Amino acid sequence: MTDVPKIASTTPYKVEMEAGKTYFWCACGESKNQPFCDGSHKGTSFVPTKVTAEEARTAYLCGCKQSKNGAFCDGTHKGL
């Protein structure tokens, strides 16, 4: 695996987040449990991004792994 993340999806993942729950977003793009980490990054420079929901809400997590907004989609996928 290189230092460039794999594009897992060209659209964001809609996720219902539970208040107080911690999630680990896959940064490498290799997880089989997208958009969440399954440990596929082990042995690389990638680390998952920890996201804790302060309140219950719908979130759109980045699928292209290119967002400048961490785990959250910023629309970068539209230019791929």
The predicted structure's pLDDT at residue 3: 84
In this prediction, residue 27 has a pLDDT band, given cuts at 50, 70 and 90, of: very high
Residue 80 inside a domain? The answer is no
Residue 79 lies in a domain: no
Tokens 């659209």, located at residue: 11
Q: Do 59 and 28 meet the contact criterion of CB atoms below 8 Å apart?
A: no
Sign of the alpha-carbon dihedral angle for 41, 30, 51, 70? positive
50 within some domain:
yes
Does this model's pTM top 0.85?
Answer: yes
Domain count, the chain: 1
The residue assigned the tokens 């219950």 is 56
Can you name the residues that pair with 27 across neighbouring β-strands? Answer: none
Q: Is residue 52 part of a domain?
A: yes
Range of the domain at 47: 1-74
Neighbours of 60 (CB within 10 A): 17
